[in-house]
Amino acid sequence: MKKEKILVIGASGQIGVELTLALRKIYGGAQVIASDLREENELLKGTGPYVSLDVMNKEMLHVQVIRQGVTQIYLLAAILSATGEKNPPLAWNLNMQSLLNVLDIAKEEKLSKVYWPSSIAVFGPTSPKDACPQHTIIEPSTVYGISKFAGEFWCNYFHQRFGVDVRSIRYPGLISYKSAPGGGTTDYAIEIFHAAKLGKMYPCFLKADTHLPMMYMPDAIRATIELMEAPAERIKVRTSYNLSSMSFSPQEIHQEIKKHLPDFQISYQPDYRQHIADSWPKSIDDAPARNDWGWKHEYDLSKMTAEMLKNIG
Ligand code: NAD
Ligand code: AKB
């Protein structure tokens, strides 16, 4: 069997750190090259190779792929929803050009697989709010969502036209404690745990009853690896798969944390991110992921809350 050499782009980010560590467990530290524009994350140090790399510099990326004998790329560099609304041209440029650079190099170098995440942000105000299905009206209203929707179709195009085996998941808001979130609308569901552990009141930037789809990071990492390891014939969706585990509102997660920390308080100070959250579905139907490659979630709100509170220092 050919030994895979994996390049993770955006490895110092919220998902990148945990995904790189998980891939290194499977493939061996030396086989997984972590790369990012910013410095190597502390948790990655000593676990495998790190290169400083700007995904926007296609020539340098191409040189690295050839020089290191890369066979797979996981592209995680992006600007997320809330940060994206502050500088739409920058978000569009990074989110689109990074993907086009990677897909083009994957085609040229005949890479075995590419992974690129999409988001529930592809859905907009006209999509169904509850159990939003895989195939439905998709009219995103944020620059982040527009870039993810366009990106999904570029993935599909490179697969159909050039045979690039690119796979994708529409992640919900991801909750984790190992590395900080990167500027999303769902980040409140991480900040709230840090405030609770410090014994501080949490000023929430979304309204109390704003339900959003969420997932605990270990489920998201396992889903990513299971999708990438599934036989190609089981991957029927070549845009991006819906993926779901839980959905809750700020007042529901507040109540759940209070089961462990009864004095914990929250206040509500909605800002521009409320508008973004209101445009997204409350919950997601992920039947195709469950049917095609056997996805099953493990964490619900109460199990995730207990784990987060246990692990945040
Ligand atoms: P993040 O912001 O935490 O990490 C992104 C990383 O990319 C950062 O470390 C950043 O330094 C790096 N980066 C930025 N520009 C770069 C460049 N030009 N070259 C190389 N590296 C660059 O983001 P994340 O939360 O880890 O998200 C990773 C991917 O998953 C993104 O595509 C995001 O849209 C998607 N996603 C994330 C979530 C979530 O809740 N975290 C949900 C849905 C989808
Ligand atoms: C964000 O809030 O922007 C991300 C996402 C759901 O894509 N967490």
Number of domains in the chain: 2
Q: Which ligand is nearest to the CA of 175?
A: 1
Residues 206 and 220 grouped into a single domain: no
For ligand 1, is residue 189 a contact (CB within 6 Å)?
Answer: no
Q: Could you read off the pLDDT of 251-296 as tens digits, one per residue?
A: 999 999 999 999 999 999 999 999 999 999 999 999 999 999 999 9
What residue ranges in 148-268 does DSSP mark as E strands?
166-167, 169-171, 173-175, 202-204, 212-216, 241-242, 246-248, 266-268
For ligand 1, is residue 54 a contact (CB within 6 Å)?
Answer: yes
Q: Which ligand is nearest to the CA of 20?
A: 1
Residues 207 and 236 grouped into a single domain: no
For ligand 2, is residue 118 a contact (CB within 6 Å)?
Answer: no
One of 144, 171, 202, 299 is an active-site residue; which one?
Answer: 144
**CA-wise closest residue to 118 among 174, 176, 171:** 171
**Ligand 2 nearest atom to the CA of residue 144, by list position:** 3
The answer to whether residue 252 is domain-embedded is yes
Residues 121 and 203 grouped into a single domain: no
Report the CATH number that the domain containing residue 275 is assigned in CATH. 3.90.25
Report the CATH number that the domain containing residue 237 is assigned in CATH. 3.40.50.720
Residues 10 and 134 grouped into a single domain: yes
Using the predicted structure, report yes or no on whether residue 61 has a pLDDT greater than 90.
yes
Residues 28 and 159 grouped into a single domain: yes
The answer to whether residue 1 is domain-embedded is no
Contact (CB, 8 A) for 13 and 76: yes
Residues 180 and 49 grouped into a single domain: no
The answer to whether residue 291 is domain-embedded is yes
CA angle 149–179–303, rounded 5-degree value: 85
Concerning whether 115 is annotated as a catalytic residue, the answer is no
Using the predicted structure, report yes or no on whether residue 1 has a pLDDT greater than 80.
no
What residue ranges in the chain does DSSP mark as E strands?
6-9, 32-36, 50-52, 72-75, 113-115, 118-119, 166-167, 169-171, 173-175, 202-204, 212-216, 241-242, 246-248, 266-268
Residues 100 and 62 grouped into a single domain: yes
**Last-in-domain residue among 225, 242, 259:** 242
Identify the pLDDT of residue 2. Answer: 55
The answer to whether residue 230 is domain-embedded is yes
Residues 278 and 268 grouped into a single domain: yes
Residues 61 and 128 grouped into a single domain: yes
The answer to whether residue 254 is domain-embedded is yes
For ligand 2, is residue 185 a contact (CB within 6 Å)?
Answer: yes
Confidence band, pLDDT 50/70/90 cuts, at residue 7? very high
The answer to whether residue 189 is domain-embedded is yes
The answer to whether residue 205 is domain-embedded is yes
Q: Please give the distance, rounded to the nearest whole angstrom, from the Cα atom of residue 49 to the centre of ligand 1.
A: 19
Q: Could you read off the pLDDT of 116-161 as tens digits, one per residue?
A: 999 999 999 999 999 999 999 999 999 999 999 999 999 999 999 9
Residues 96 and 25 grouped into a single domain: yes
DSSP 71-92: -EEEE-----HHHHHHSHHHHH
Q: Could you read off the pLDDT of 77-102 as tens digits, one per residue?
A: 999 999 999 999 999 999 999 999 99
Contact (CB, 8 A) for 84 and 271: no
Using the predicted structure, report yes or no on whether residue 200 has a pLDDT greater than 50.
yes
For 12, residues 6+ apart whose C-beta sits below 8 A from its C-beta are: 34, 36, 38, 39, 40, 41, 44, 179
**Last-in-domain residue among 242, 259, 282:** 242
Q: How far apart are CA 171 and CA 152, in angstroms?
A: 13
Identify the pLDDT of residue 3. Answer: 86
The answer to whether residue 26 is domain-embedded is yes
Q: Which domain holds residue 146?
A: 6-171+216-242
Residues 265 and 283 grouped into a single domain: yes
Residues 50 and 124 grouped into a single domain: yes
